[in-house]
Amino acid sequence: MNAPHPPKVAGIDPTVPTPTHTVAPAPPAQEAGPAPDAPAGTPPPAAAPDAPGSLLQDRLAGWVSDLTTLHELTERMCGTSVLQAALEELLRAGAALVGARRGLVALEPGDGLGPRTTVGHGLGRADLGHLETVPREALLTSTADLLAEPGLDPRHREVAARLGYSAGYALPLATDNARLGTAVWLYDEPAAPDEHHRHLIGLYLRQAAEHLALLLEVERTRAYAATLTGELLPSRLPRLPGVQLAVRHRTGPRGGGDWYDALPLPDAALGLSVGSVTGSGPGAVAAMGRLRASLRAYAVMEGEDPVAVLSDLELLLRLTEPARSATALFAYCEPAARRITLAGAGHSPPLLIGERRTEYVETSLSAPLGMLACWEAPSVEFRVEREETVLLYTDGLLRRTGEAMDRAFARLHSAAASVPRALRGDPGAVADHVLATLLPGDTARGDEDVVLLAARFD
């Protein structure tokens, strides 16, 4: 039997049935018989309708409807994997449960470690800006009728009139062990959720807060990994006559071991390197930092011989990181002559982007560092035309496409060839165009680091 439609509460659109309560079981009905004074043969009177049984069925149906709604909303929340998306889902679900059109959540972890952010639902950027000017304790408080509130903060009254809301319903976001913040939903007219809807939103927030606490830890871990990786990579690229440099780096969610470097060398030369250490997490990041620092030292001593640089790096890797392997590419550039000598160890070839050609540089096949007892591969020398760009990258750029490697290489070539002529004079714009074309928006798959190092020769 269907549950009865709940009555409309002021300002509330009841999307969930009203609460029901258990009813004490009725005593068993006695079998009906003819009245004592009825003449013989008179049929017994008709039994009264089973009203208690009907009411119980309606209430059971209401409970089932409530549980189904909460299950669906909780499933949608658990399907989020990013903190921002989870907060937006919480506001949408809460708005449906309490019948509000707008709302906001202020994430303010009680441990003070952040991140602190405010996310709105049905509110524009300017609206959130106005709400940020209201004192927190006034904004994040339940108020059934703002105009009738005697001690209402004047700024709160002014912002409420500007945005057109008249009531708010606030609830804390907290687990058993941590306070996460506060959520508040705003009504266009004086209103408040009834007891039933308050009970449902309380149950939902209890489960949602646990999921938010997990995503908060993931977000912090990602931020720590990105910060650590950033500290181990160059804070800025060098400026040398005859060459312009730009880099784009995306850190994976678990923190990977991809690196890049650009190092001025004697005789007005320039050393460029990209590489990747196997694994992810803090261990891979630390190994990446050690290898990059060592490669810089080897480049200063013998940078004109890229094979010797990578050979020394391979020996160091086998002695200090025997359980790891790494791919690497080192290029010794002479900007005045536009000549490049490079060697690669299991790394993808550079891509030349120019007015008359877009092609991969042919490099010899070689194993990654740490895979063989002794690494060795011949170097390759080539010249760059004036106003051409050399694009060095890590394999994460190809893997994030989700394509097979041959298909990913073809897509990268197509993205580089499609760089508009107006952008080719800026290596940063070239790298941005390649990234946007190859990994548009949030469609990129995978969690590998991505590095693009672009060098344009004048």
pLDDT tens for 263-304 read 999 999 999 999 999 887 778 888 899 999 999 999 999 999
Instruction: Evaluate if pTM is beyond 0.95.
Output: no
Which of 7-16, 94-103, 381-390 has the lowest average pLDDT? 7-16
Length of the chain: 458
For domain 59-224, the CATH superfamily is GAF domain (3.30.450.40)
CA–CA distance from 403 to each of 244, 249, 396, 398, 452 (Å)? 31, 20, 12, 8, 18
Could you tell me the residue ranges of all domains in the chain?
59-224, 233-457
CB 175 within 8 Å of CB 214: no
Single out the residue of 292, 296, 250, 249 nearest to residue 270, CA to CA.
296
CB 368 within 8 Å of CB 325: yes
Label the pairing between strands 351-353 and 117-121.
unpaired
CB 66 within 8 Å of CB 74: no
Q: What is the pLDDT of residues 1-14, one digit of tens each?
A: 444 444 444 343 44
CB 257 within 8 Å of CB 317: no
Q: What is the dihedral of CA 7, 10, 12, 14, to 10 degrees?
A: 0
Class of the domain covering 233-457: alpha beta
pLDDT at 371 over 90: no
Label the pairing between strands 358-360 and 351-353.
antiparallel
Mean of the pLDDT values across residues 314-335? Answer: 92
Mean of the pLDDT values across residues 19-44? Answer: 45
Mean of the pLDDT values across residues 442-450? Answer: 65
CA–CA distance from 141 to each of 62, 123, 174, 191, 366 (Å)? 30, 18, 16, 14, 65
Say what the pLDDT of residue 10 is. 38
Pairwise CA distance, residues 313 & 295, whole Å:
6
Say what the pLDDT of residue 13 is. 42
**How far from each other are the two terminal CA atoms of the chain, in whole angstroms?**
79
Among all chains, which residue has been given the structure tokens 């940063």? Answer: 428
Residue 46 binned pLDDT confidence (cut-offs 50, 70, 90): low
Pairwise CA distance, residues 283 & 289, whole Å:
10
pLDDT at 31 over 70: no
Mean of the pLDDT values across residues 94-111? Answer: 94
Pairwise CA distance, residues 315 & 255, whole Å:
25
Pairwise CA distance, residues 377 & 231, whole Å:
32
Pairwise CA distance, residues 224 & 312, whole Å:
31
Say what the pLDDT of residue 252 is. 74
